A and B are shown apart, each in its own frame.
Chain A
Amino acid sequence: MLALSANARVVAALGARSIRQTARRPQLAAPLLVFPTLLLAIQTGGAGGAVDLPGFPEVESFLAFMLAGAMVQSVLLAGNSGAIALAIDIEMGFTDRLFAAPISRFGVVLGRLSGTAVLGAFAAVWFLAIGFLFGVTIQEGIAGAVWIVLLVAASALAFGGIAASIALYSGKASVVQGLFPLLFVILFLSTAFFPANLMLEPAGTVAEYNPLSFIVEGIREPIIGEFELGDQLKAVAAVIGIGALGLALSAWSMRARTRRGS
């Protein structure tokens, strides 16, 4: 019981440190809010006419459709930023000192990820506020908004786990930074920015089966329509699946790192 509370304190302290670090470093904070907000504004103005295309889902506005995409983009970038910060900690020897301390190694990683989850929740609130400001109505009301924040925070934790495993394995910020273009491949091959039925092939087919699309649709549904249990279960399953993969990869990377000794 004592060990559990000690580990919880470590997780909380490292999570708080991670949030402060992001707030203080513009290169970590910018990808979280600035880039997704800019892209949201530009894509809404640039491709807003898409709502008139035959086959486009019935929406209040293109902004309402795009909010989920902006949140997921922010979450992916938050995970990447968190992993870059973790890699910098490894490069500077800070993580080694934590690993040498009498605390759970997994708690060290979970601390970083808990910070990413809080940042994800903040991003969700940010984009909901933008939507509210520009006239978007959340169709499922307050319950829908709360569900969105929870789902986005959980997604941040899940994606952050995969990014953290790469940071743990490579120990180099430049390697994690190199993932940046790859994140956009995953985003473009999902329904983050457009409905799958209107995307060009083969991207449309890939988007239909991309787990990220399930999460996007889970977030989008309460904004533009009504909750459907099947869609929400798919979103939760996708988050759990990605989270489990991140967990397994992080554990493996940590073991590999310990074996290598650096």
Chain B
Amino acid sequence: MPWRANLATVGALVRRALNEITRVPGAAIPGVMAPTIFFLGLTSTFGSLTLLPGFTSDSYQSFIVPVSLMQGAAFTGAATGVNLARDIEQGWFDRLLSSPAPRPALLAGLVLSASLRALIPATFLLIIAFAVGAHWPGLLGLAIAILIVMGMATVAATWGTSLALKFRTQSAAPLMQAGMFIAVLTTTAYAPLDLLSGWLEVVARYNPVTQAVEAARQGFVGDVTWADTWPGFAVLIGLGVVLSYFALRGMRKMTIS
């Protein structure tokens, strides 16, 4: 029954990652606080943008909350890469690689833990967002937003893991974080596509993460539709598959060297 052993491996890796939260709760505080601070800061600063003709919402809180949710997910996912780099530096990951556990099970443990951990900043942020007046997106809208958050954390974790396996040092942390920072913010993060200017309008149009942002946002600013939902999930699945390939290739290279 190898699949049972693989599941046990995934479960053990997820438990190990979640144990870090209970044993070092202070380490999780910046990751939880940062997206909320960005949400409150961006709302207070750029809230007047809703007065611009063509803005698709009368509430900037509602417009920006999905972006902050995805930022939280992205940073949580990137943190998985940083933690893996630490494990590589300390030799712990070598021991995992020398075990008979298949590489996909090791990767699954890492990314699944990231997608679960992403729910912590998301929950905190949503409580604050509703308290300061963000629209209730409905149960379906909320469920879609949460699934997108988990998907984004998975993508970010595969990104972070690929980089950790390539550079094998925690010094690569800024690259892991900056990559996700760029992916989330070069979308319709600040304003609807028609109101973006210059290069950002072009980049946001072709950045696949824009679809994920729009899917997470739809319930907060209007009705939920299948047409706005499926592209978001399709993009996250596609990115997850591509980045998983690079992460698994990194593990194979590390085993050989």
Partner-B contacts on A (CB < 8 A): 25-27, 30-31, 34-35, 38-39, 41-50, 52-53, 62, 174, 177-178, 180-181, 184-185, 187-189, 193-194, 198-200, 203-204
A26-B171, A188-B37 given; A46·B189 CB < 8 A: yes
Residue of A30, A50, A194 with highest tally of chain B CB at under 10 A? A50
* A200 x B174 contact (CB < 8 A): no
Q: How many Cβ-Cβ contacts under 8 Å join chain A to chain B?
A: 110
Question: What's the dominant secondary structure at chain B's contact region?
Answer: helix
Residues 173-217 of B, flagged 1 when their CB comes within 8 A of A and 0 if not, give 111001001100110011100011111110000000000000000
> What is the CA–CA distance of A26 and B82 in the complex, to the nearest angstrom?
14
* A47 x B49 contact (CB < 8 A): yes
Closest B-chain residue to A202, C-beta based?
A: B44
* B48 x A53 contact (CB < 8 A): yes
8 Å CB contact of A45 from B29, B30, B171, B199 = B199
* A188 x B40 contact (CB < 8 A): yes
Closest A-chain residue to B170, C-beta based?
A: A27
* B47 x A42 contact (CB < 8 A): no
* A200 x B47 contact (CB < 8 A): yes
* B48 x A200 contact (CB < 8 A): yes
Residues of chain A within 8 A of B172, CB atoms compared = 26
Q: Does B230 contact A (CB under 8 A)?
A: no
- B55 CB to closest chain A CB, in angstroms? 9
Interface size class of B (residues with CB under 8 A): 35 or more
* B178 x A35 contact (CB < 8 A): yes
A34-B174, A35-B178, A178-B29 given; A45·B198 CB < 8 A: yes
List CB contacts (< 8 Å) of B89-110 with chain A.
none
Between-chain CB contacts (< 8 Å), 28 pairs: A31-B174, A35-B181, A39-B185, A42-B185, A42-B186, A42-B200, A43-B190, A44-B197, A45-B196, A45-B197, A46-B189, A46-B191, A48-B198, A49-B52, A52-B52, A53-B49, A177-B30, A178-B29, A180-B34, A181-B34, A184-B38, A184-B41, A188-B44, A188-B45, A194-B45, A198-B48, A200-B45, A203-B45
Residues of chain A within 8 A of B27, CB atoms compared = 174
Partner-A contacts on B (CB < 8 A): 26-27, 29-30, 33-34, 37-38, 40-49, 51-52, 170-175, 178, 181-182, 185-186, 189-191, 195-201
- A163 CB to closest chain B CB, in angstroms? 16
Closest A-chain residue to B182, C-beta based?
A: A38
- A118 CB to closest chain B CB, in angstroms? 21
> What is the CA–CA distance of A106 and B30 in the complex, to the nearest angstrom?
31
- B214 CB to closest chain A CB, in angstroms? 15
> What is the CA–CA distance of A46 and B182 in the complex, to the nearest angstrom?
13
* A178 x B30 contact (CB < 8 A): yes
> What is the CA–CA distance of A62 and B195 in the complex, to the nearest angstrom?
14
Residues of chain A within 8 A of B185, CB atoms compared = 38-39, 42, 46
> What is the CA–CA distance of A42 and B198 in the complex, to the nearest angstrom?
10
* A30 x B174 contact (CB < 8 A): yes
* B44 x A189 contact (CB < 8 A): yes
* B41 x A180 contact (CB < 8 A): no
> What is the CA–CA distance of A202 and B3 in the complex, to the nearest angstrom?
56
Residues of chain B within 8 A of A52, CB atoms compared = 52
- A52 CB to closest chain B CB, in angstroms? 7
Closest A-chain residue to B61, C-beta based?
A: A200
> What is the CA–CA distance of A204 and B45 in the complex, to the nearest angstrom?
8
Residues of chain B within 8 A of A30, CB atoms compared = 174, 178
- B23 CB to closest chain A CB, in angstroms? 15
Residue of A62, A187, A200 with highest tally of chain B CB at under 10 A? A200
> What is the CA–CA distance of A178 and B94 in the complex, to the nearest angstrom?
30
* A50 x B49 contact (CB < 8 A): yes
- B57 CB to closest chain A CB, in angstroms? 14
Residues of chain B within 8 A of A180, CB atoms compared = 30, 34
- A184 CB to closest chain B CB, in angstroms? 5
- B20 CB to closest chain A CB, in angstroms? 14
> What is the CA–CA distance of A10 and B41 in the complex, to the nearest angstrom?
41
Residues of chain B within 8 A of A41, CB atoms compared = 199-200
* A49 x B30 contact (CB < 8 A): no
In addition to A180-B30, A194-B45, 5 A-B residue pairs with Cβ atoms within 8 Å of each other are A46-B191, A178-B30, A181-B34, A185-B41, A200-B45
8 Å CB contact of A46 from B26, B178, B200 = B200
